[in-house]
Amino acid sequence: MQDKRKILLIFGTRPEAIKMAPLVRELQADARFEAKVAVTAQHREMLDQVMECFGISADYDLNMMRHGQTLADITGRALTGLQAIIAEEKPDVVLVHGDTTTTFAGALAAFYEQTPVGHIEAGLRTGDKYAPYPEEINRRLTGVLTDYHFAPTETARQNLLAAGVPDANIYVTGNTVIDALLQTVASGCDLTGYVGGGVDWSKRILLLTCHRRENWGEPMRQIFGAVRRLADEFAGDLEIICPVHKNPLVREAAAEFLSDVPNVHLIEPLEYRPFSKLMSLSYLVVTDSGGMQEEAPALGKPVLVLREVTERPEAIAAGTAKLIGNEGESVYRGIKELLTDEAAYHAMAHAANPYGDGHAVERICDILARVL
């Protein structure tokens, strides 16, 4: 019998954990592999919530999160810690995900140990090195170090080809976030303990998240100001639920504009299971998140994106998402259109989701078995 192939999966943030968790579970259940997990925990609490939700644990935990940490701090500590783990484990391949600082540091550490790298969710691009920051450059640098590029879509594959990646090294698999989402929503969740009893669920629910660096400061003030106008204007028919990121800059802006509005509910960040359930019950999603541009369409929810550019153009092209920027009047008009124009709403709600069928993990495992 052939020896098992040893896989080391590396991640450090909540979004990475969500998208890697179903892959961890599949690899660990597959007799062809020996799979271990190393986390940097550049996001501590939110990472732990996701791992508990999916029933996975870390074999190595760098526990790196520090108050006031800079990108350089994270990169340096992650690189040193991960290189030592890779040197000890000697895996056949290191798997990293997406675009975080952990992703880049993990790929670089693997390169230093002359270990092949598999990049899950490879090939996303905006073409602007500072948008999103630092994710766009993390993606590009990781791509240079990667041996096996697991692209979620054909568009991502084309981006990799344009960057000079050989076609034979690219595998279009769909996005593992759809696997994670469909598994989670199917399991059910009671939201009462998470959002409180003040929400009128007979009204339309607008789910709002806003936290990205590009929106800190005046853009965030404009976004929340526009949401305040809409909350007042549609008070009889709209409930707005906003899980507020723990960053003080986000909390201050949200409190300034939205804390005293009866039909706006500012809540703590949600664990993945209740957040997925909330998304499934929403009428409309307004966000600057990358992952939600993939997740919400899988549930038939239109997504309005609070950015000027996105690394996920497939959603825009498919009609499941729309860029509305971060200027107050543009945000106001973009949201109001979907609240008042039923045809525009249904066109987005019923567009085909371009990010996969929930079987990306199976494809990745089979490819790894073949190439290793």
| Residues identified as active-site | 99, 121, 135, 211, 213, 245
3-state secondary structure of 119: strand
Look at the alpha carbons of 320, 325, 329, 330 in this order and tell me if their dihedral is positive or negative.
negative
Q: Of all helices (H) and strands (E), which one includes residue 207? A: strand 204-209
Half-sphere exposure of 36 (CA within 13 A, CB side): 18
Rounded CA gap, 218 and 331, in Å?
14
Dist. CA 332–CA 290, nearest whole Å: 21
**Rounded to an integer, what distance in angstroms lies between the CA atom of residue 260 and that of residue 266?**
10
Chain centre distance of CA 300? 18
Amino acid at 95: L
Whether the bond between 132 and the residue before it is cis, its omega within 30 degrees of 0, is yes
